[in-house]
Amino acid sequence: MKIQRKLLSILKNDLKKTNKGLVIYGPRQVGKTTLVNDLLKEFNWNTLILNGDQRGSWWELLTSRELSRLTLLVTGYDAVFIDEAQRIPEIGLSLKILLDNFPRLKIIVTGSSSLDLASKISEPLTGRIYSYKLFPISQKELRVVNTPYEMETQIEERLIYGSYPEIFSLMGIQEKTKYLENLTNNYLYKDLLEFGDIRNSSKIHDLLKLLSFQIGNQVSISELSSALEINRTTVDRYINLLEKSLIIFRLPGFSRNLRKEVTKMDKIFFYDTGVRNSIIGNLNLLDSRDDAGKLWENFLIIERMKKLSYEQKLFSQYFWRLTSGAEIDMIEETEGKLYSFKFKYGKKSVKTPNSWITGYPKATSTLVNKENWQEFVV
């Protein structure tokens, strides 16, 4: 089953109307190379394709940052596609020279994580690029090839095995389990360990395991520090690196006008529930596990993020909680408006806390459950 990525049409339009470079961030195995290859098929260009994982005769020319040598490299081409660009030293400076001196040359760059790539291109390429994030397959993308009923029947698979593109071509439990184990053991930390200067890789895995068990809960850096026997600064640094690697993301607490609002500790969720489940070694069906509600919450938040991101909307996401215990799973702020969402796995109804309604009377309140979840993420 061919699933067309939502970014394809966006990138296609950008290439038609602008001379800026395109940078696509995303973790390994998420489909960046396939996306760009599909994009290039839309145009009849003579394209120079380079891969940062595979050095060739081009390497010295590109990294020289000398105009004469770069001219030698790109002359005769309409476009340049650089895959895994985070592995090329000071790639940002090379791209700046190309973009400044070859305005008709289309430049597309992908990076398996934003760790090294972002730091080396953000400053020299300010105003010269459009950057995008590619997520695992979204429900919005799946809706194009599946009916609402089919989406409903697949929801348990998404909560357990996640949405990395390869998962959709694998049939049995053993194949899916093996793939996720290989992904988490061999790919997930590859760039993080190389570029993050991490001396003890086992601590990263232990940290991820602890975070996996705490999805939906506020995370205490001090408690993690004690459990891992490393200092707070290191734990916070590791979490930042995991964020930049697009493995996890933080959901901060929302506060505007109530003294008792809780904001000191963030919640942490995973970009993919399959990765989360593989890390803790639990790929059991939902009826034999006690974290279905937490998986549902993680799934809805990340799918909403994918939807809004691909719709190119500016948005912020938070959770909301009072010291009294009153809580809302997600607050969304977009176009100056507030929207609150309570998530419930199943069809049971829950009420929005009166303290939220009183404190933020202009905000809308919505319950997202098994009956209306597709409206929320598609």
pLDDT of residue 112: 75
Q: Are residues 113 and 255 in the same domain?
A: no
Q: Are residues 82 and 162 in the same domain?
A: no
Q: Give DSSP secondary structure letters for 74-118.
A: HTT-SEEEEESGGGSTTHHHHHHHHHHH-TT-EEEEEES-HHHHH
**For residue 51, what are the domain limits?**
7-133
The pLDDT of 301-308, averaged and rounded, is 98
110, 133, 156: which is the final residue of a domain? Answer: 133
pLDDT of residue 117: 64
The pLDDT of 109-129, averaged and rounded, is 76
In a domain, 260, yes or no: yes
State the Cα–Cα distance between residues 170 and 176, nearest whole angstrom: 6
Q: How high is the mean pLDDT of the chain?
A: 92
Q: Are residues 254 and 342 in the same domain?
A: yes
Supply 4's token pair.
């067309």
Residues 6+ away with beta carbon under 8 Å from 75: none
In a domain, 2, yes or no: no
In a domain, 73, yes or no: yes
pTM of the model: 0.94
In a domain, 366, yes or no: yes
Residue whose structure tokens are 């430049």: 107
355-372 tens-digit pLDDT: 999 999 999 999 999 999
The pLDDT of 33-47, averaged and rounded, is 95
Integer angstrom CA distances of residue 26 from 6, 32, 262: 14, 7, 31
Instruction: Between 341 and 195, name the one with better pLDDT.
Output: 341
Structural domain tally of the chain? 2
47: CATH: 3.40.50.300
Where is average pLDDT lowest: 58-72, 186-200, 269-283? 186-200
- Banded model confidence at residue 115, pLDDT cuts 50, 70, 90: low
Supply 113's token pair.
């994580």
- The most confident of 24-28, 110-114, 130-134, 274-278, by mean pLDDT: 274-278
133, 161, 193: which is the final residue of a domain? Answer: 133
In a domain, 240, yes or no: yes
Taking residue 225's Cβ as centre, other Cβ atoms within 10 Å add up to: 16
- Banded model confidence at residue 89, pLDDT cuts 50, 70, 90: confident
The pLDDT of 196-220, averaged and rounded, is 89
268-296 tens-digit pLDDT: 999 999 999 999 999 999 999 999 999 99
Q: Are residues 145 and 78 in the same domain?
A: no
**pLDDT greater than 70 at residue 119:** no
Q: Please give the single-letter amino acid code of residue 357.
A: I
State the Cα–Cα distance between residues 378 and 373, nearest whole angstrom: 8
In a domain, 1, yes or no: no
**pLDDT greater than 90 at residue 27:** no
Q: Please give the single-letter amino acid code of residue 232.
A: R
Q: ∠252-219-249 over CA atoms, to 5°? A: 50
Q: Are residues 194 and 98 in the same domain?
A: no
133, 158, 180: which is the final residue of a domain? Answer: 133
3-state secondary structure of 177: helix
Q: Are residues 95 and 146 in the same domain?
A: no
Q: Are residues 196 and 64 in the same domain?
A: no
In a domain, 202, yes or no: yes
Q: Are residues 256 and 332 in the same domain?
A: yes
Q: Are residues 11 and 116 in the same domain?
A: yes
Integer angstrom CA distances of residue 311 from 9, 110, 175, 221, 362: 11, 20, 33, 34, 24
Q: Are residues 213 and 306 in the same domain?
A: yes
232-254 tens-digit pLDDT: 999 999 999 899 889 999 999 99
Nearest residue to 79 via CA among 98, 60, 57, 93? 98
In a domain, 342, yes or no: yes
Q: Are residues 219 and 327 in the same domain?
A: yes
Q: Are residues 117 and 168 in the same domain?
A: no
CA neighbours closer than 13 Å in the CB half-sphere of residue 292? 15
169-189 tens-digit pLDDT: 999 999 999 999 999 988 877
- Banded model confidence at residue 347, pLDDT cuts 50, 70, 90: confident
